[in-house]
């Protein structure tokens, strides 16, 4: 029988990743990074909570146990916006942010999109005074939610920064989008203007890179629901990732 700890993108593998970070790097939240309140050498750990918010408690507890402080971006949809979970993560010392997708929700209408943004942000502020935001990619939507800020300024709403638009090219960005730490399965998950200097495919590759000490900083995105707790979980999410990656490949061709 296959064991859960023999696979990548499991909660046990996530713990190994965090252990490597905790040994070699201090961590900062997105708000600290954007405020310039960070050392020269650091890891910026970000989580986009797209679905199954209960998984975020598991990753948050591991990080808290190891002294890692991260930023968790929650969507505003009913199945993800769970104040009781968000407050527990907040109380562990992590930052809570808004994973906005309102331009897609408004079918590309910026005026409607910003009104939705303000309404959802008010709901978040009842749980945690949001300082930073992050767009949700929504690969099946033709709208890039970051484009909302071509018409408006998020700073007008008390936000100090956006997780893609307010970071510099000096950051070494790695995302688990598409079940790989490379960019091959990403449509919108990238830092504008940033070219890839270092690559990692598996989590073991990333752990090796962290242990090498070669990089002064790492900006990591891990989706909590991707880091499975058991083999059933792992099989379901792996199948979903494979299907989504195929759709992304089709969309990338169509949109070109």
What does DSSP assign to residue 10? B
Domain that holds residue 198: 4-255
Q: CB within 8 A of 53, min separation 6: which ones?
A: 74, 79, 80, 82, 85, 224
**Residues recorded for the chain:** 256
Mean pLDDT (the chain, rounded)? 88
pLDDT the model gives residue 198 = 77
CATH code for the domain of 249: 3.20.20
CA–CA gap between residue 248 and residue 245 (Å, rounded): 5
Tell me the per-residue pLDDT of 130-156, one tens digit each, with 9 for 90 and over: 999 999 988 778 899 999 999 999 999
Q: What is the DSSP string of 29-89?
A: -HHHHHTT-S-SSEEEEEEEE-S-THHHHHHHHHHHHTT---EEEEPSSTTT--HHHHHHH
**Selected residue with higher pLDDT from 227 and 256:** 227
Predicted model pTM: 0.89
> What Å distances lie between residue 112 and 92, 139, 144, 181, 184, CA to CA?
35, 20, 15, 35, 33
Q: What are the pLDDT digits (tens) for 34-89?
A: 999 899 999 999 999 999 999 999 999 999 999 999 999 999 999 999 999 999 99
In sequence order, the 6+-apart residues with CB closer than 8 A to the CB of 180 are: 201, 202
Residues 6+ apart with CB under 8 A from 185: 177, 178, 179, 245, 248
- pLDDT, residue 231, reads 66
**Interval 201-209 mean pLDDT:** 95
Number of domain units in the chain: 1
Q: For residue 46, what pLDDT is reported?
A: 98
């Amino acid at each position: 029988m296959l064991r859960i700890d023999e696979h990548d993108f499991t909660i046990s593998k996530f713990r190994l990743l965090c252990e490597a970070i905790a040994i070699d790097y201090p961590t900062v939240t997105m708000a600290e990074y954007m405020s310039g309140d960070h050392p020269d050498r650091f890891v910026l750990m970000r989580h986009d909570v797209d679905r199954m918010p209960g998984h975020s408690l598991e990753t948050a507890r591991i990080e808290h146990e190891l002294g890692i402080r991260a930023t968790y971006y929650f969507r505003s949809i009913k199945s993800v916006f769970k104040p009781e979970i968000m407050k527990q993560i907040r109380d562990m010392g992590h930052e809570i942010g808004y994973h906005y997708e309102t331009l897609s929700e408004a079918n590309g209408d910026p005026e409607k999109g910003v009104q939705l943004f303000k309404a959802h942000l008010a709901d978040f502020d009842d749980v945690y005074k949001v300082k930073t935001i992050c767009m949700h990619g929504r690969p099946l939507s033709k709208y890039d939610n970051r484009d909302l800020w071509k018409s408006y300024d998020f700073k007008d709403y008390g936000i100090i920064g956006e997780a893609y638009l307010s970071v510099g090219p000096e950051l070494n960005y790695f995302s688990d989008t598409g079940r790989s730490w490379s960019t091959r399965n990403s449509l919108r998950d990238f830092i504008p203007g940033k070219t890839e200097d270092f690559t990692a495919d598996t989590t073991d590759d990333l752990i090796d890179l962290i242990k090498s000490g070669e990089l002064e900083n790492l900006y990591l995105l891990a989706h909590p629901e991707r880091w499975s707790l058991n083999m059933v979980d792992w099989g379901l999410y792996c199948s979903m990732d494979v299907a989504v990656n195929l759709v992304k490949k089709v969309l990338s061709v169509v949109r070109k």
